[in-house]
Amino acid sequence: MDWILGGVMDALDEAGSEVSDDTLVIFTSDNGPWTAEQSCAGSKGPFKGTWLKEHVSDDCTACPSEYKPSPLPGQKRRCIYPGTNYEVMGVSCGEDTGLGSAWEANVRMPAIVRWKGGGVPEGKTSSEMVSTLDVLPTVLSMIGKDIPIGSEVDGIDVTDVFLGQAQSSSSSLPLREGEDSQNETNRRRSERAIFFWRDGFKTGPLPAPFGRFDVVAMKIGWYKLWFWTKSSHYNADEEVYHDPPLIFDVLNDPAEAYPLDPDKHDDLIRHALHLMSEHKASIEWSAPLTLARDPKYLPCVNVESGCRTRPLPLDLDGGGDSIDQAEER
């Protein structure tokens, strides 16, 4: 990875300062460590997901990719590769709070931004919560362009973060009428909501029309509210619904170990439920992917699954099937 990234940066530098300085480079990750892979997983750092470890049955085992739990007396963490006798040890499902989950280890990713010509300073660090959804509105703002009329954009402008000018935020309840804020940007960021969705539910009263999808957690500023808790989606532990939701201050409790008293945060809960209701109402649910499990609607790159992205024969001479005919077959 270091070599590949270095090659990209070297190519930009070799193209000259006009290209290098005017190119925005963002380096980040799509998800956190795959905890069940253990020594190959990467580190969760301080983002332990401690609450889940203490509330999931110790009998549940998370196995590395393609392995299946196959416990024996005295070996409850035993994982077997299907069709073989090859075995490895898994981990407790309660520890599997990385890849495939909504716990902080999976959703809080580091990022590096370089854009010399755009005013991004070197050597600055920030702990502000931003999203990849913010890249589009931020870049448009930095180059003096407006978001096209009629476009629905979920991100917000975080130019001040990119430029190293953001003042550190702290965990706080939603601002009330008459309360002071340092500026509109900080106020909007402290109130912004980020929603974490998951599909494949087995249990629980999912509201129509969401079917197998639902919001499992959301963030408002540094508060994180959990409506459904579970380890990574591929494990056997079932979803647990929380009403009122679990609340963590992930600025001061990044391990998500100590839920806050919901009775002392009723304003926050009401505000969160209102934002979530608005968010769900804004989603168009007519797409087949959201309404059915028919594999022909699933985008994927597994050529053995029969999904729609399988390689298709191309007849450049005009004598065979068209792409459409091949896809239908």
Which range of residues forms the domain containing residue 159?
A: 132-163
Q: How much of the chain exceeds pLDDT 90, in percent?
A: 43
Total domains, the chain: 2
Residue 67 lies in a domain: no
Q: Which of 122, 147, 163 marks a domain boundary?
A: 163
Which of residues 140, 163, 186 is at a domain's end?
Answer: 163
Q: Is 325 a member of any domain?
A: yes
Strand-pairing partners, residue 61, are: 92
- Which two structure tokens, joined as six digits, stand for 47? 């983002």
Residue 325 confidence (pLDDT)? 44
Whether residue 156 is contained in a domain is answered as yes
- Model confidence at 323: pLDDT above 50: no
Domain final position from 114, 142, 163? 163
Asked if residue 264 belongs to a domain, the reply is: no
Identify whether 150 is part of a domain.
yes
pLDDT in tens, 295-309: 666 556 555 655 555
pLDDT in tens, 3-58: 999 999 999 999 999 999 999 999 998 889 999 888 888 889 999 999 999 999 88
In a domain, 212, yes or no: no
Residue 149 lies in a domain: yes
Residue 141 lies inside a defined structural domain of this protein? yes
